[in-house]
Amino acid sequence: MADALSLVDDWGPEKIVVVSHRRTGMKGVLVIDNTARGIGKGGTRMSPTVTVGEVARLARVMTWKWAGVDLFYGGAKAGIVADPASRDKEAILRAFARALSNEVPREYVMGLDMGLTESDAAIIQDELGDRGAAVGTPEHLGGVAYDKLGVTGYGVAEAADAAARRSGLSLSGCRVAIQGFGAVGAAAAARFAELGATVVAVSTARGALHDPGGLDVPALLAAREEHGDDFVGRHARGEVLASGRELTVDCDILVPAALQDVIDDRTAHLIKAGLVVEGANLPTSPAAQEILAGRGVTVLPDFVANAGGVVAAAFAMDARYSGFRPETATIFETISTRLRANAVTVLDEAERRGTTPHTAGLGLAEERVRTAMRSKGRLPG
């Protein structure tokens, strides 16, 4: 427990709950980071490598993401140490939900993250007998279909367009490289294409596909639907590269939309893009951010660029006990409006303060959280 205590700072975590269940082998953790602006809300992930430190780090990202987009929920995250492909997944998930019944949904509402599906969200609701226990359920149960709608990727492209326009660059004709072609990367590619950009590279765990003249995004989406990650080797157009090479191809905008910590102090020197838009959580190390800033490369932070998912989640949170689904058009309109405005605000603040967008954006989010903590008497007198 000393390790968990070492995670505590001026912001949180407010609560770390470690749970287990002997019969199913379930082990998991919930980290509620900061609830000054509202109830804890963040995704639940399932992976054999989940750690308390990882979940705490992601819970803190949610604190800043909610504050950054100025929506009134608190930062939280949960993780289950298990293989999501396990045939015991449902039993493990139900045991996890039961173990957290004191916290869910009074202090934390579960959502989807790596390894969980819409059906898993429905199982959580069923296990606890409460529609408010989780969001991200299937459409036929009244849920907002994040992945089907592609809300996060849509928001990434909208934020990128706003950042590009601010620097006098038209997205039409811009060359875009995207790491990851899952739910976020694929939706981002589709929206970039609609906005007139040229997608020159995409990647999956099986490798990267690169064509300086531009890839056929609708064909890529169809190939992904048919072949999954293997579409990289089956697609007729483009050169197949090793995974990771897509980060350093010649392009105007780079979107790391797969894993965290992929751009480090070594990779930062090789980036050719003038604008990096973080589609994944924590893809760029602090050292890399400083290097990129020194090279004149703008980095739009994850808690700004990929906040389309949290905007949609806010609609889902409001609709948990409603008999009506949120209007899809309203969700997309709100994502576009908020993310475009936030992108410009953060970049303007970074320029005004002479610092990186991460530092500027974090400063804005911190001030919102600090103000809420002060109003609720949570700060020293």
Number of other CB atoms surrounding residue 315 within 10 Å = 20
- Rounded CA separation 290/335 (Å): 29
| DSSP-assigned letters across all residues of 232-290 | HHH-SSSEEE-TTGGGGSS-SEEEE-S-SS-B-TTGGGT---SEEE--SSS-B-HHHHH
Interior angle at CA 88, CA 82 and CA 90, nearest 5: 90
Locate 96 and state its tokens: 């996890």
Q: How many residues does the chain have?
A: 381
Q: Is the peptide bond before 13 cis (omega within 30 degrees of 0)?
A: yes
CA dihedral (118, 120, 123, 124) in degrees, to 10, reads: -100
Number of other CB atoms surrounding residue 355 within 10 Å = 16
Locate 205 and state its tokens: 């765990």
**Sign of the torsion angle spanned by Cα atoms 95, 130, 18, 306:** positive
- Rounded CA separation 229/206 (Å): 6
Q: Do residues 62 and 76 touch, judged by C-beta distance below 8 A?
A: yes
Locate 162 and state its tokens: 């706003």
Collapse the DSSP code of 88 into the 3-class scheme (helix H, G, I; strand E, B; otherwise coil) and give the result.
coil
Least Cα distance to 147 among 248, 43, 303, 220 occurs for: 43
Point out the residues that are catalytic: 77
Beta bridge partners of 45: 79
- Rounded CA separation 319/321 (Å): 6
Q: Locate tokens 């007198």: which residue?
A: 381
Q: Which amino acid is at 212?
A: P
| Eight-class DSSP state of 110 | B
